Amino acid sequence: MNTMEKLTTRFTFGGDEFIYAEVSRAMNVEANFKVLAVTDEIRRCNIPGVTEICPANASYLIRYNPDIIRPLDLLDVLREIDEQKSDISGLTLQSRVVEIPIWYDDPITKECAAKFKDRHQDPSVSNLEFVMKINGFKDKEDFIHAHSSAPYLVSMVGFVPGTAWEFPLGVPQENIIEAPKYLRPRTQTPARAISMAGAFTVIYPVAGPGGYQLIGMSAVPVYDPEQKLEDLKDTLILAKAGDIWKHRPIDESEYNKIVAEVEAGTYRYNIKSIEFSPEEYFAKTQQYLNELTEGIAYA
Amino acid sequence: MLKILEPGLSTSVQDLGRFGYYHMGMPPSGALDRYSFQLGNLIVGNPYNTAALEITFIGPKIEFQQEMVIALTGAYVKPLVNGQEIPMWQAVRVREGDVISFTFTQGGARAYLCVAGGIDVPERLGSRSTYLLCQFGGYEGRKLEQGDILHTGNPRQSLNAIEGRALPEELWWKQNKPVELRVVTGLCSYKVQPDSLFNFLMEEWTVSTEADRVGYRYKGNSPLTFKDIPQPFGAGDNPSNVVDMGYPVGSIQVPNGEEPIILLNDAVTGGGYMTVATVISVDLPKVAQSLPGTPTRFLSVSIEQAMAARQEEQRKFRYAEEILASHQRYQTS
């Protein structure tokens, strides 16, 4: 994963108002860094007619008004920016490290999983135990440590407001924890449930249907439509593409304490602004991640 | 003010939608039949992007609590004011205490009730549209309920000047059958055997009962066959899965290669299902106006043809503006 080979983007029209750009078909952090660099530059260019700029895991989506900029003209502009930003060495991304306190193996998501066990591959165990089993973990503490010790890159925001796809940093592909989705999706999931499918971790912003494997509860929300919390006042949602999130395991009493602070509107997220250098990340992966998350990572 | 006596099946406040927040997972929402919605606003002298009521299948019953001018557009709903039918596609004056009611929509699924001055609900992130799935915007984030009171804005012109303005039948929204949806193929169509995609688009499909502001699912045909290429890392095992991507509004996804789903204005903004084509923007109202059971075909077009269709629609809007302006001159002469 420490190669920074040049990625060639494939462009395609999504009707007359969208252009879809596929940087890579496979998920990898290199592709995501390029997506972030290109979409930052598109934003900076203020192209007349462009109305939405949406970075995704290994692709990006642009919405535009074709009465203002012709589809083929915009395609040329995007190709040029994409080409310019193809080399991610020397690139720095403005980012943040955000701590997410997690109550792993909690009774709330276990109860939800039990209710929908007829839709699951292995109804005899909890979702967390299922993910442990298929990834070769024997001990719960080992699994929780593995999941919470790696920082996660927010590689995409979307689906419904606040949903963030988190992808582990510094973990060789063969060691990334993976999980299949439910056989048939649940019709209900508690808001703030933390879950896994594919190589991604996702926190549910609101209660609703879902097919990811449930492994715990986040004490803090990722969506705040009432704009009660200071840190989400301007944005409504916590996630920004390019964020680095660090999950900190907590117990029931700390979970309850934080939830009460959130409800009172007094909770402040533990956030640190950073400059992220993909080049340094690839050169000295673990050491670099330790430096970045210092003061955020749990003691 | 409007008082909702009966809410109908799903009546919501919509304008042209909420833009600039797609990257945080916020879909645009907004009127699904943009054509009828905009012409309705034009008739009552509003700017195109003025909030109105979107009526679905079963209309509401509403009491007007002040004198105002309204227009009904979209699918035919037989609007009755105090039991007397009033014309659609025309600015009609109603008085305090008048009650409007409707039949089921006929030949289409949605109608628009536009009011001179617009429906006045607070703007959220730059739009008055209701995003029902996440209870955001519109009137308290939800469809209307019995007893709701809606305020209206100030009309731009005197009611006398607006009343009676009408559009000719050639501009009324009409659905041809089978519905022909022009699509631009692409996105993740590389995963599919080309002859299979060709057949998929050529055959006739039927609108299922899973059809709402989020999306329309179609039934009745043979599934897509996939090329024998390995699944990329992070995409999931099913050949219809891709690494999660942003979805264009109007894109057609085909979970498991089986039944196409067209994503509409309240859809999720991204996900991991392969999409094979996108309905061109001017044909999205045809999707939203389709009743369950409607036969539908897809017609593959180029981006140039999509642009030509767009320009044709814009000519209709210019024509409508001219007609309504000439009414104005007639009134003031």
Confidence of residue A209 (pLDDT cuts 50, 70, 90): confident
Domains in chain B (CATH in brackets) are 2-167 (no CATH), 179-301 (2.40.100.10)
B182 to chain A nearest CA, in Å? 9
The topology (CATH level 3) of A10-89 is: Gyrase A; domain 2 (3.30.1360)
**Would you state the pLDDT for residue B255?**
87
In the predicted model, what is the mean pLDDT of residues A61-72?
A: 98
Residue B89 contacts by C-beta under 8 Å, 6 or more apart in sequence? Answer: B39, B43, B71, B72, B73, B166, B167, B169, B171, B172
* Residues from chain B contacting residue A18 (CB–CB below 8 Å): 248-249, 251, 278
Question: How confident is the model at residue A297, as a pLDDT?
Answer: 54
Q: Tell me, what's the pLDDT at A91?
A: 87
Among the listed residues B264, B265, B241, B244, the one whose alpha carbon sits nearest the alpha carbon of residue B254: B241
pLDDT tens column, B169-197: 999 999 988 999 999 999 999 999 999 99
Give the residue-averaged pLDDT of A283-292.
94
**Residues A213-231, mean pLDDT to the nearest whole number:** 95
Instruction: Please say if the pLDDT value at position A87 is more than 90.
Output: no
Q: How far is A34 from chain B (nearest CA, A)?
A: 15
**Identity of the residue in B26, B186, B187 whose CB atom sits nearest the CB atom of A161:** B26
d(CA B20, CA B126): 9
Confidence (pLDDT) at A181:
87
Residues in B touching A239 (Cβ below 8 Å): 24
Find, among B54, B72, B159, B1, the residue nearest to B81 by Cα: B72
pLDDT (0 to 100) of residue A299: 36
User: Looking up tokens 């939830």, which residue turns up?
Assistant: A259
Contact check, Cβ <8 Å, A53/B23: yes
Chain A neighbors of B230, CB-CB under 8 A: none
The residues pairing with B206 across neighbouring beta strands, listed in sequence order, are B219, B295
Answer yes or no: is pLDDT of A127 > 50.
yes
Mean local confidence (pLDDT), A214-239: 95
CA atoms within 13 A on the CB side of B273: 21
The partner residue sitting opposite A237, judged by closest CB among B19, B24, B233, is B24
Interface with chain A: mutation pick from B252, B263, B269, highest number of A CBs within 10 Å = B269
Mean pLDDT of A64-68: 98
Domain ranges of chain A: 10-89, 94-293
Substitution target in A9, A10, A13, A121 with the highest count of B β-carbons within 10 Å is A13
Give me Rg for the CA atoms of chain A.
20
The DSSP secondary structure of B142-163, one letter per residue, reads S---TT-EEEE---SS-HHHHT
At B236 the pLDDT is 81
| DSSP summary character for residue B191 | G
For domain A94-293, say whether CATH 2.40.100.10 is its number.
yes
Quote the minimal CA–CA distance from B77 to chain A in Å: 31
Is the pLDDT at A25 greater than 50? The verdict is yes
Region A38-49: mean pLDDT is 96
CA distance B33 to B16: 10
Residue A98 pLDDT class (50, 70, 90 cuts): very high
Domains A10-89 and A94-293 share a fold: no
- Residues of chain B short of pLDDT 70, as ranges, are 328-333
Q: How confident is the model at residue A1 (pLDDT cuts 50, 70, 90)?
A: very low
**How distant is the Cα of B329 from the closest Cα of chain A, in angstroms?**
30
Q: Is the pLDDT of residue A187 over 90?
A: no
pTM as predicted? 0.94
Closest-CA residue to B304 (of A16, A292, A45): A16
